[in-house]
Structure 1
């Protein structure tokens, strides 16, 4: 591994660790709490004064709506799939399986961080919940919302798209991330920092060691050899 690559990894790790401790160490999470509170009540009050917005928040946090984010990621992935030949298709399958394994493992590791943080809809007694305002069953609360697992999955997808398909793919994946991660914050199922601090810090540390070293390529190459190929 080149020295410049190692320096990049260490810098990303330092950034992730500093980001986490800037939230974890200060009493009541320092300035982050004020930002979290402002963002939460900004959206929460809008749901009360604008019923259409409450319906939008409820629908975009309905469990079935998660399928839409999977479709969006799948369509982006397919846009690169269709440009490849049979060998490229098989390698993309290996990349996809590697991405899924990486997301599951990193998500499990992230939830081992010794932080128990209930969502703002449970923390604030005067919070309004999208499900109650609209009657639509929706994810608008969590007893342990840190780090944001939904946001983390979307971040990992964006990282893999950057690593294996380039900058344009990364930008498109970032758009998908913002579109589908923000509804959780709007509903109050997650604090803003569950994603901006929790998910991001875990991804900065974990994905840097996985994607900027031969680690992910080794697993992709192994799966590319071992996964069954379609018979001609």
Structure 2
């Protein structure tokens, strides 16, 4: 990897410790008997506020139904990828490949963290169902839009909603991009993260705690162990070595071959 790049996963002890402290505080605040009722009250208040907005205006319902489809997640992922590798948005052309490979390494660490966290969830019985399954009076988009549900599957309920996997990926991307973005681009990136987490909350697939505790905790730990240590950098270097033999072929592809992420700098 280019040692002159801004994108350098290395030991950052203060950030490493702060991120772990934040993750610990999040879990403690949720599990502590004194604060657990506050989280539950916030969970229910947010659910009834957001989900309660449905069922009044057809266009509003269509908006959240479409954004709750799994295919919408693909579109969001494509947008995030475009912002990551578009030269001139956050990263310079010569940085785009390093940025992409570092983020892929962070995603791999997030997956590992999710698997390990699942073991804890099962052992301590932290798992729970979606608010749309548990709470009375929920507005079920899957029932109101049966064709969308049958063809695409609406994400508005789950028997295992903790933590929010979708949110953890968005939050990890937001953390990574925030390290390099400034001004309105920083604001735009973080606003995208918030807006793309809303459909699951509005539809009732997730509680607030699934996102604000489970999803954020996973993102904080993956970022801490990946980018605040040399680990993601070493993984990115390994991906770069695997990627190099494919480079001549990829650069010959129409349109794709002109992407900055494929160019030698």
TM-score (norm 1): 0.85
Tell me what 1:17 maps to: 24
Work out which of the residue numbers 26, 36, 47 in structure 1 matches 2:33.
26
Q: What pairs up with 1:55-134 in 2 under 5 angstroms?
A: 55-80=62-87, 83-85=92-94, 88=95, 90-114=97-121, 115-134=126-145
Matched, 1:223 2:239: yes
Quote how far apart the aligned CAs of 1:173 are.
3.1
Quote how far apart the aligned CAs of 1:83 are.
4.0
User: Does 37-46 or 140-149 show the bigger shift?
Assistant: 37-46
1:202 is paired with a residue of what secondary structure? Answer: helix
Tell me what 1:183 maps to: 199
State the alpha-carbon separation in 2 of the partners of residues 89 and 40 from structure 1.
39
State the alpha-carbon separation in 2 of the partners of residues 89 and 35 from structure 1.
40
Quote how far apart the aligned CAs of 1:73 are.
0.4
TM-score (norm 2): 0.76
* 1:114-162 superposed Cα distances (whole Å, 9 cap, x missing partner): 2211100011133221121233311100111111000001111222324
Q: Residues 159 and 170 of structure 1 are in contact (CA less than 8 Å); yes or no, is this contact kept in structure 2?
A: no
Quote how far apart the aligned CAs of 1:29 are.
2.6
User: Does 203-212 or 104-113 show the bigger shift?
Assistant: 104-113
Task: Decide whether aligned partners of structure 1 residues 132 and 76 sit closer, same or farther in structure 2, where only a CA change above 3 A counts.
Answer: same
Quote how far apart the aligned CAs of 1:95 are.
2.5
Task: For structure 1, list consecutive stretches of 5 or more residues without a partner in the other structure.
Answer: none
Matched, 1:156 2:167: no
2:87 is paired with a residue of what secondary structure? Answer: helix
Task: Decide whether aligned partners of structure 1 residues 119 and 77 sit closer, same or farther in structure 2, where only a CA change above 3 A counts.
Answer: same
Task: Decide whether aligned partners of structure 1 residues 157 and 65 sit closer, same or farther in structure 2, where only a CA change above 3 A counts.
Answer: same
Q: What pairs up with 1:133-144 in 2 under 5 angstroms?
A: 133-135=144-146, 136-137=148-149, 138-144=154-160
Q: Residues 158 and 177 of structure 1 are in contact (CA less than 8 Å); yes or no, is this contact kept in structure 2?
A: yes
Task: Decide whether aligned partners of structure 1 residues 17 and 166 sit closer, same or farther in structure 2, where only a CA change above 3 A counts.
Answer: same
1:112 is paired with a residue of what secondary structure? Answer: helix
- Higher helix share goes to which structure? 1
